Amino acid sequence: MSAGGSSGAGAAATGVPEAAAPTAAPAAPREGSVLTIYERSREGRRAFVAPADDVPEVAIEDILPASEIRTDPPDLPEVAEPEIVRHYTNLSRQNFHLDEGFYPLGSCTMKHNPKINERVAALPGHARLHPAQEPEFAQGALELMWRLQGQLTEVAGLPHVSLQPSAGSHGELAGVLLARAFHRAHGEEERRTKVLTPDTAHGTNPATVRMAGYEVVKVGTAPDGGIDLDDLRSKCDDTVAALMITNPNTLGIFDSRIAEITATVRDAGGVLYYDGANLNAVMGISRPGDMGFDIVHFNLHKSFTQPHGGGGPGAGPIAVSDRIEPFLPVPQVVRRAPENGGPPRFDYDFDRPLSIGKMRGFQGNFGVFVRSYAYICSVGGDGLREVSEIAVLNANYLRARLAEPGIAEYLPLAFDRTCMHEFVLSGRPAKQELGVKTLDLAKRMLDYRVHPPTVYFPLLVDEAMLFEPTETEAKETMDAFAEVMRELLAEAARDPSIAQNAPYTAPVRRLDEAAAARRPVVRQPRSPGHEPPGDPEHPTQVTGGKL
């Protein structure tokens, strides 16, 4: 990449698009991208007109009670087909996505999701199955779920699985409720009121603990990035209900003292919860069950090829030890022994008197189960191990590239040691010496059409940037990204205002993210001429097609 970011030759060599030339003027919204579908509406326009009925007409009043019949027509946009196609195509082009470019968003495992898994999930027998279908007519789906449960027990090293939770954080909630049920069964529910979490924990861990009604007790981090064992010991007593920890942790560091950690908590009578969101680093290499854990959640929408960042359906199954099994959510998907010489039958087991109950309606996001099952079957056990090995190799390669001169003096490693699947840099020197914050650099990356890493997390690293390249990225992509980083910093050394005012090519410039989070306005105006909602004094709250 050329020093000025303007040479086409540099772009061809690195494979990463050149950054747009910086400009102080706000980016002009792209043609056709600013109006909502309601604002495009014109009375009488239609995309598709159904042919006239060729069956006898029946008056709606004859088939529905008056209370169910609306008096006003619905307020739907009236738009012709080309307008609809352009509207959604333009919207989709504003979105940065994994199919477009590098997405090293730490702790999100934004890896490529093989397209064949999408095809399998879209098969009508999978995609059109009704969630209320009787088990006898959904045997294939139940068998798939039962087999997926079996695969996950092997990955976890724990003998029982529930597929009910629908996100990592939902699995955490199930896990803490299981810990409570366990202590209740042992007459210790009242006494055990605290859950320990490391100060490096993902935000969902303490949030879950509070949501389940427990007190959060933070455990400190040792200088090597692992848990501070002395601090842990000093906090382990008979009031501890559980320890919730991820390994490797959010610094990308595998805690080699894990057996001592789990033994300490177990000796104090606590339940051991493993946040499996970082499993992509250790699949087929080390197992939470073997490390001494009772409960683990999987983020199927990270390690098992379902998109994670950006929301959408997910799945956070849990695997548990024998001592936790009686409390698992209902229903469990089970295989019943053959009757009268027939094949085995797959069914729901609701007969679980100690269960914590249901975690959600129906059975979960079935399409996610199909994708994960297809993925595990296609790569196999050895393949999963290879996935993790390459994820770790790639992270260490990128870590080494970003430790080169031109980058490392401004963005040093927070913990200078071999990492697992992700690693953290600190932007403190860039802020102090160049006057550009981590946020500025992240925004400028958007102009190069690469997604920034996770920023300002983990909290204990000043100006943190958390990178996770994943195993599906080629060496050339990581090399190109390292060059982008070098170029950004060289550019910032010449003129910090460029990064400070970035991005220049995104559909919107800098938003007031704090206001958007605190006072979100999510309603769009319903029709042209309609006053946009929100406080005119705080225009960033208002989308209303006026951005």
Residues at the site binding ligand PLP, with contacts judged by CB under 6 A: 107-108, 167-169, 202, 204, 246, 250, 275, 277-278, 299, 314, 316
Select the residue whose beta carbon is closest to ligand PLP and give its number. Answer: 168
Residue matched to tokens 């390669």: 397
240-245 and 194-198: which strand pairing?
A: parallel
Contacts of 458 (CB under 8 A, 6+ apart): 200, 250, 251, 424, 464, 466
Which residue type occupies 318? Answer: I
> Nearer to ligand PLP by C-beta: 1 or 387?
387
Separation CA 166–CA 158 (nearest Å): 20
Q: Where are the alpha helices (DSSP H) in 362-474?
A: 366-401, 428-429, 438-447
> Nearer to ligand PLP by C-beta: 108 or 430?
108
Local structure of residue 74 (DSSP, 8 states): -
> Nearer to ligand PLP by C-beta: 168 or 175?
168
> Nearer to ligand PLP by C-beta: 164 or 278?
278
Kindly tell me the burial class for residue 330, based on how many C-beta atoms sit within 10 Å of its own C-beta (0-12, 13-18, 19 or more). middle
> Nearer to ligand PLP by C-beta: 208 or 355?
208
- Residue 250: CB minimum distance to ligand PLP, A: 6
- Residue 301: CB minimum distance to ligand PLP, A: 6
**393 contacts 280 by C-beta, under 8 angstroms:** no
> Nearer to ligand PLP by C-beta: 206 or 292?
206
| Whole-Å CA distances, 174 to 109, 324, 326, 368 | 22, 11, 13, 19
- Residue 422: CB minimum distance to ligand PLP, A: 9
- Residue 223: CB minimum distance to ligand PLP, A: 22
Separation CA 515–CA 507 (nearest Å): 19
Separation CA 175–CA 295 (nearest Å): 6
271-276 and 240-245: which strand pairing?
A: parallel
> Nearer to ligand PLP by C-beta: 292 or 317?
317
| Whole-Å CA distances, 464 to 231, 239, 405, 414, 428 | 24, 34, 19, 8, 8
- Residue 357: CB minimum distance to ligand PLP, A: 20
> Nearer to ligand PLP by C-beta: 79 or 201?
201
- Residue 471: CB minimum distance to ligand PLP, A: 17
- Residue 316: CB minimum distance to ligand PLP, A: 6
Which residue type occupies 366? Answer: F
- Residue 459: CB minimum distance to ligand PLP, A: 13
Torsion of CA 72, 76, 81, 83, to 10 degrees: 140
> Nearer to ligand PLP by C-beta: 208 or 472?
208
**202 contacts 246 by C-beta, under 8 angstroms:** yes
Residue 286, token pair as written in the block:
């080390």
- Residue 246: CB minimum distance to ligand PLP, A: 5
**149 contacts 265 by C-beta, under 8 angstroms:** no
**328 contacts 358 by C-beta, under 8 angstroms:** no
- Residue 209: CB minimum distance to ligand PLP, A: 12
> Nearer to ligand PLP by C-beta: 51 or 311?
311
Q: Strand, coil or helix: what is 47? A: coil
- Residue 243: CB minimum distance to ligand PLP, A: 14
**300 contacts 374 by C-beta, under 8 angstroms:** no
Closest CA to 174 of 160, 186, 164: 164
> Nearer to ligand PLP by C-beta: 308 or 437?
308
